[in-house]
Amino acid sequence: MNRTLAVGAGIGAVVALALTGCAASGTPADDPDEKVTITYSNFISNGGNEDNLATIVDAFEKENPTITVDVKTLPYDSYGTALDTDLAAGTAADVFDINGPSAYGQYQANGVLAPLDGVDASLYSPSLLSSYATDGTQYALPTSFSDVVLFYNKALFDKAGLDYPTADWTWTDETAAAEKLTDQAAGVWGDHQPVTYNEFYKVLVQNGASFLSPDGKSVAFNTPAGLEAANWLVQKSGTTMPTIEDGQGTADFDTNLFKDGKLAMLHTGIWMFGAFADDADDWDIAVEPGNTQHANAVFSNAIGVSATSKHPEAAQKWAEFMSSSDTMVDVRLDSGWELPPIADSAKLATYLDKGKPENRQAVFDAAKEIAPAPSIGDNQSEMQDDITNELIEAQAGRETVQQALDNAEKKINALLQG
Amino acid sequence: MADTAVRTLAVAAPRAHGSAGRRARTVLLHVVVIAGALAMLVPFVWTVVVSITPGATLTSTPELIPSDASLGAYGRLFAERPFGQVVLNSLMLAVATTLAQLVTSSTAAYAFSRLPFRGSGVVFGVYLATMMIPLQVLIVPLFVELKSFGLIDTYLGALLPSIASAFGIFLLRQAINQVPRELDEAATLDGAGHLRIFASVILPNIGPAIATLTVFAFMNSWNSFLWPLIVLRSPELQTLPIALAGLQGQYTSDWDVIMAGSVVSILPMLALYIFAQRYVIQGVASSGIK
Amino acid sequence: MTVVGIRPRPPAGRRLRYALVVLAFLLPSAVPLALFVLAPMVGAAWISLTRWNLLAPARFIGLDNYVALLTDPTTGDVFLHTLSYVAGYLPIVYVVGLALALALNTALKGRGLLRGIYFLPVVTSWIAVAIVWRWLLSPKSGVVNSVLGFFGIDGPGWWTDPHWAMPSIILASAWKDVGFVMVILLAGLQAIPTDLHDAARVDGAGWWRRLFSVTLPLLSPSTFFVIVISLINGFQVFDQVYAMTGGGPNGASEVVVQQIYDLTFRYGRAGEASALSWLLFVVVLAVTLIQVRGQRRWVVYG
C-alpha cells in the first residue's frame, strides 16, 4: 500500500509541475493549402441560436475550404469555469468567446490572447472595437452588442391616461408616471429596474457621478450624487416596484410580469425583443431617462484567438468572419440575435424595419451615449458581487443606502489597493 | 413445558387486550406516512405541471391542471438536440461507472473486513479521506493530469475518476461486517480460498447493500455535471445534465422545457430503484442469514 | 481481526501468498483512488502554496495563503455557516429517515410505492429541484407560506431573510436526503434476524424497549455509516446553496465549498481556494476520526 501512496504522491508532483509550465509558445505559420481544423468554444449560441451559429460556420467553411471549424457550445453559467480550466491546462480552443470588456481586460492582462494584426478596423463600430484593444494592439474582436432601454406597456399607459415615455424624460418623469401606474391591489406595478452592479454604474453616470476615481485607484461613488443614484435604484422597491419578498430578483420574474401585462415600465436589454414579440399588450421602447444626462449600458461579446493556438492565421480568419462578415450580419439581423458590431449604418438600417418594437431607433440612440463599465482586472467579479450585495441589503431595509455605500466603498477600496 | 405455557399466556393476554389500540395505531401510522409522502410529492407535482404548461413562469402559482396543457415541451426536448445520443451517452457512462464501482468496492470492502493486515485501519482512513476534499478544488489538477494521459474529450476521461468510490467501499464494508464469520469459517473448513469465500459466501449475503450501491453509483454518474462538462468537449459526447443546463439561456429560460428535461431524467433512476428494491427484498429472503 | 496475533507466525511463503491476496483485493480500488483523487489532492496542496489566477504562471508564496485565510473574517463566517448547516441537517435527516425506515419496514399497505415516493427526491438533480424549492419557499406566493397562512401562521421570508436562508437550505436538503437515510437504514433493518425481535416480544418487551435494546444496537453499523457519510457530505454542501440562495442574502448562507468555487473560478485566487480546501479537509478529517474512535463504544458488529 505504501507503494501505491508513493506512486500517488509522485503523480501529484508531476501534476503540480505541469501546472506551472503549461503556457506554450511559438507557433509555426500555416501552409495555406493544408487542411486545418480549428476549435471554437462559445456560449453565445447557447439556448436557441445553435442553428444560427451553424449557418455562419457553414458559410465560412464554404469560403475557406481548407479550414474546418469545430464548434463546442457551453451553457452560459458554466462557460467561465470551463474556459479558465482550459486556460490553466493549456487546452483552450483556438478561438473562444469573451464575455465583455471586463473579462477581456482580465484575459489580455494575463497574456492568454494572441494579438490580431491586420484587422480591417473600418468594418467595426469604433467604440466597440476599442473596448478590445490594449495599448494600440487589437487582442479580440466584438461579435455583437446590445443595450438596455426602457420597455413600456402601451395599454397600461393608455389606461392611466399618461403620455408614453420619450427620450426627454428624466428620473422625475419616470417616478411620477410609475407612481400613477402602480396599482398594488390589482397586482400592477409601475416600474422595474434590477438592483445590481450593472445598473448602478450606469445610473451613477446618469446622475453625473462616476464609479471609479479618474486614476482608477479608489471608488468615487460615495458622494451626494452617488447617494442620489443609489437611492433611485433602491427606493423603487416596495413603492413602484415589487419587493424581494414578492419575488423580485428571481430569474425571469420581471420579464414574466411584463409579459402578463402587470408591469408598466421595465429596464432591460434589447435581447428581450423576441421573448416579448407575442405579448397580448402592445409595447414599445424608449431611451432610458437620465437625471443630469443620458447614459446607457452597452454590453458586447467578443471573440479572441488563444495565444497557444497552433493555427493562429486560420483562427484569426474565423474570428474576423464571426465578427464582421455579411453572413453574420444577415443572420443576426434576421433572427434578432443581438446586433452585429459593424460600422456600416446602411446595413444596420434594415434592423429598424424588423417589426416590433416600433421605436427601434432608440437602440441606436442609446448606443451613442455609453456609460463606460469600470474594469479593474482580477478582482472584477468580487467587486461586482460586493456592490450588488450591499445594494440589496439597502433594498431589503437591513441597512441605509448611505451605510451600503460606506460598506461597499471600504470593501472595494481594499480590493483596488490589494 | 410449563414455562412455555406461561409465556404463551403472557404474550396472548396483552395482544387480545390491545387489538383495538393496535388497529388505531396502524391506521394512524398509515395516515402519517401517506400524508408525508404526499408532502414529499409536492415539488414533483409542480415540476410536472410546469412541464406541461406552455410558456410557464416560475413566479406565479401554476394552475394544477393547466387550461392549455400540452406535451409540446417534451416534443421540443427530443427535437431540439441530439437527445437520443445524449441519453445514450449518459446511460453508457452510468452503467460503466456502476459496474466498475461494484467490482472495486466489493473487493476492497472484503479486504478491509476479512483480510486483516498491518496498517489496515490507516489505509481505510486514507480511503475515507478521499471523500473529504471537495471536487471543485480537484478539477484543475485532475484536468491537467488527464491531459497528460491524453484523455481529454474521451469517455474514458469522464469515467476513470469515478470508477472507485470510498462511499461504496465503506457501504459494502459495513454490510460485510454484519455477515456472520461462522459462514466464512465453515467455507474455510471445506477448503475454500478467499476468492471462493468472497464470491460464494460474502457476495450473496450482502444483496441489499449491493443493490443500494448500484442505485447510488448509477445516480451519481447520471446526475454528475461539473466533471463531464469540463472533460467532454465534442457535442456527440455530451451527457444529459449538460444538455439540460444548456436549456437555460443567458437571458431567458424556457421553464417548461427545463422541467420536462428534469422529469425525463428522473424516469430511468426511478425504474432502476423499483427494480433494485425488488432485488433487495429477494436478496434478503434468499440470503440464509436468518 | 486479532486472529493473526494469536496464531504462531506462518512461514514466509504463506505470508507472501497472503500479502498477494490482500493486494489483489485492494489494487482495483487503490490504483484509481491514488491516481484520480490522491494525486490531484497533492496537486491542490502544491497550488495552495502559490498565488495563481489560473491564467498567468503560478508564483510560490509559501504559507501566505493560509495566513491570509486565518486572518480573514470571511473564513470564520463560511465555516460557521457550514457548521450550522450540518447541525441542522444531520439530526433532521437521521430522525426522519429512521422513522421512515421503521414505518416502511412494517407490513404497511402499499409500502413499495411509499418507499419509492420517499426515495424519489434522492434521484433528482439539484439543478432543477433547487429552482422548485426557491419557488415553494417564496415568501409571498410560495406554497409553504400559503399553507402556514392557512393555519394562521405568518411564514418567514425564507431565502430573502438572512436568518432564514440557511434553514431554507436545510429544509430542501432534508427533503432530498431523507430517502437516502431511509434506504440505508432499511437495508440494515432487513438484515436483523426477526427471531431476535420475536424473542424480545416473548419476553414482554414493549415497542420502545425493543427499539432501544434490539433494533438500534443491531442497526448501529448502518447508523454509523449514515452519520459519517452525512457529516462528510454535509461539510461539503454546495449545489443547493449555489442554486437556491447563491450564498445570500449578502453572504448569510455562504458556505465553505462555495467560497472555494468562487475563489477559484470567479475571483482568480486559486491558491487561496486550495488552501481553504485543505483547511476544510483537516476539519472533516478530525470530525470523522472522532466518529471512528467513538464507534467502539456504540457500534455492534454481527
**Does residue B206 belong to any structural domain of this protein?**
yes
**pLDDT of A339 strictly over 60:** yes
List the single residue in C58, C135, C264 with the smallest CB-CB distance to A20.
C58
Q: Which of B136, B240, B252 to mutate to test the interface with A (most CBs of A within 10 A)?
A: B252
Mutate one of C158, C245, C265 to test the A interface: name it (highest A CB count within 10 A).
Answer: C265
Q: Does any CB of chain C come closer than 8 Å to the CB of residue B45?
A: no
Interchain contact B48–C (C-beta under 8 A):
no
Chains within contact range of chain C (3+ C-beta pairs < 8 Å): A, B
Residues A334 and A402 in one domain: no
In a domain? residue B259: no
> Is there a single domain that holds both residue A108 and residue A55?
yes
What residues in A contact C141, CB-CB < 8 Å?
246-247
Question: For residue B286, what pLDDT is reported?
Answer: 39
Of A116-125, A169-178, B170-179, which gets the smallest average pLDDT? B170-179
Q: What is the DSSP string of C122-186?
A: HHS-HHHHHHHHHHHT-TTT-HHHHHHHHTT-----GGGSTTTHHHHHHHHHHHHHHHHHHHHHH
Nearest to B57 among A88, A256, A272 (CB): A256
In a domain, A351, yes or no: yes
Tens of pLDDT, residue by residue over A286-324, are 999 999 999 999 999 999 999 999 999 999 999 999 999
The domain total for chain A is 2
Q: Are residues A63 and A135 in the same domain?
A: yes
Largest CA distance in chain B: 82
Average pLDDT for chain A: 90
A6 lies in a domain?
Answer: no
Contacts of A259 in chain B (CB under 8 A): 57
Would you say A299 and A147 are in contact if contact means Cβ atoms under 8 Å apart? Answer: yes
pLDDT band for A143, please (50, 70, 90 cuts): very high
- The chain A residue lying nearest B56, using CA atoms, is A256
Q: Are residues A169 and A275 both part of a single domain?
A: yes
Give the gap in angstroms from C-alpha C250 to the nearest C-alpha of chain B. Answer: 22
Q: CA A119, CA A132: separation in Å to the nearest integer?
A: 12
Q: CA neighbours within 13 Å on the CB side: how many for B268?
A: 20
Quote the pLDDT of residue B96.
97
Beta-carbon pairs below 8 A across chains A and B: 105
Cβ pair B284:C40 closer than 8 A: no
Best interface-test mutation with A: which of B250, B254, B255 has the largest number of A CBs within 10 A? B250
Chains A, C: CB contacts under 8 A, how many?
A: 115
d(CA B284, CA C4): 32
pLDDT in tens, C129-159: 888 898 889 888 788 998 899 899 988 989 9
Q: For residues A378 and A333, state if they share a domain.
A: no
**Quick one: how many helices (H) and strands (E) in chain B?**
14, 0
**The pLDDT of residue B287:** 38
**B45-84 burial: b if 16+ Cβ within 10 Å, else e:** ebbebbbbbeebbbbbebeeeeeeeeebbbebbeebbebe
CB atoms B233 and A5 under 8 Å = no
Q: What is the structure's pLDDT at B9?
A: 37
Does B167 contact chain C (CB < 8 Å)? yes
Q: What pLDDT does C123 receive?
A: 87
Residue B183 forms contact with C (CB below 8 Å): no
Which has the closest alpha carbon to B223: B261, B275, B253?
A: B261
Domain of A234?
147-298+372-417
Calculate the average pLDDT of chain C: 90
Q: How far is C241 from chain A (nearest CA, A)?
A: 15
Residue C2 per-residue DSSP state? -
pLDDT at A300: 95
Label residue C8 by pLDDT band (50, 70, 90).
Answer: low
Q: Containing domain of residue B202, as a range?
A: 82-246
pTM tops 0.90, yes or no = no
Chain C closest-CA separation from residue A149 CA (Å): 27
φ, ψ of residue B250 to 5 degrees: the values are -70, -40
Q: Are residues A88 and A175 in the same domain?
A: no
- Work out the average pLDDT over A128-132: 94
Name chain A contacts of B144, Cβ cutoff 8 Å.
15, 18-19, 22, 88-89
Residue A2 in any domain: the answer is no
Asked whether residue B193 is domain-assigned, the answer is yes
A176 lies in the same domain as A291 = yes
Residues of chain B with pLDDT under 70: 1-18, 57-62, 80-81, 279-290
pLDDT tens for each residue of C50-86: 999 999 999 999 999 999 999 999 999 999 999 999 9
Query: Does B250 touch chain A if contact means CB atoms closer than 8 Å?
Result: yes
Residue A396 domain-assigned (yes or no): yes
> Is the same domain home to A167 and A241?
yes
Nearest chain A CA: its distance from C23 CA (Å): 8
pLDDT band for C4, please (50, 70, 90 cuts): very low
* CB-based contact, B253 to chain A, within 8 Å: yes
In a domain, B237, yes or no: yes
Element (H, E) at C102: helix C73-103
Q: What CATH number is given to the structural domain containing B91?
A: 1.10.3720.10
Please report the pLDDT score of residue C66 as a whole number: 97
pLDDT tens by residue, A21-78: 444 444 445 556 689 999 999 999 987 788 999 999 999 999 999 999 999 999 888 8
Residue A86, min C-alpha distance to chain C (Å): 9
B47: left (phi over 0), alpha (psi -120 to 50) or beta: alpha
Please state, in angstroms and as integers, the Cα–Cα distance from residue C158 to each residue in B39, B245, C139, C245, following that order. Answer: 18, 26, 6, 10
- Which residues of chain A make contact with B141, given a CB cutoff of 8 A? 12, 15-16, 19
Q: Is B199 on the interface with C (CB under 8 A)?
A: no
Interface of A with C in 138-157 (CB under 8 A): none
Q: Which of B128, B178, B270 sits opposite C120 (nearest CB)?
A: B270
To the nearest whole angstrom, how far is the Cα of B234 from the nearest Cα of chain C? 22
Beta strands A67-73 and A133-134 are unpaired
pLDDT confidence of residue A100: 92
Residue in chain C closest to A9 (alpha carbons) equals C39
- CA of A418, closest CA in chain B: separation in Å? 24
B255–A contact, CB cutoff 8 A: yes
Once rounded to an integer, what is the mean pLDDT over residues A114-133?
95
Q: Does the beta-carbon distance from A20 to C57 stay under 8 Å? A: yes
What mean pLDDT comes out for the span A115-130? 94
Instruction: Please tell me the predicted confidence (pLDDT) of residue B12.
Output: 40
C173-232 tens-digit pLDDT: 999 999 999 999 988 888 777 777 788 888 888 888 888 888 899 889 889 999 999 999
Q: 409601475: which residue's cell?
A: A190
Name the CATH code of domain C72-298 (choices 2.50.20.10, 1.20.120.1730, 1.10.3720.10, 3.30.470.10): 1.10.3720.10
Strand, coil or helix: what is B211? helix
The reply to whether A76 falls in a domain is yes
Here the ipTM equals 0.88
Within an 8 Å CB–CB cutoff, is residue B63 touching chain A? no
Quick one: pLDDT band at residue A83, thresholds 50, 70, 90?
A: very high
> Are A344 and A406 members of one domain?
no
A18:B148 CB<8 A: yes
- Partners of A16 on chain C (C-beta within 8 Å) are 42-43, 46-47
Instruction: Single out the residue of C174, C178, C168, C175 nearest to residue C244, CA to CA.
Output: C168
pLDDT tens string A250-262: 878 899 899 989 9
| Residues A309 and A115: beta-carbon distance below 8 Å | no
Residue A401, CA atoms < 13 Å, CB-side half-sphere: 20
Q: Are residues A255 and A200 in the same domain?
A: yes
For chain B, list the contacting chains (3+ Cβ pairs, <8 Å). Answer: A, C
pLDDT of residue B60: 63
Same domain, A97 and A246: no
Chain segment A207-246, per-residue pLDDT in tens? 999 999 999 899 999 999 999 999 999 999 999 999 998 8
A interface with B, Cβ–Cβ below 8 Å: 1, 5, 11-12, 14-16, 18-19, 22, 39, 43, 46-48, 70-78, 81-82, 85, 88-91, 247, 250-253, 255-257, 259-260, 269, 271-272, 275
**Rounded average pLDDT over A105-118:** 94
Query: pLDDT higher for A133 or B62?
Result: A133
B233 or C45: which leads in pLDDT: C45
A344: CATH: 3.40.190.10
Residues of B within 8 A of C125 (CB-CB) are 223, 225, 241, 244, 262, 265
What is the tally of structural domains in chain B? 1
For the CA atoms of chain B, what is the radius of gyration?
25
Residue A119 shares a structural domain with residue A38: yes
Residue A1's pLDDT band, with cuts at 50, 70 and 90, is very low
pLDDT in tens, C203-216: 888 888 888 888 89
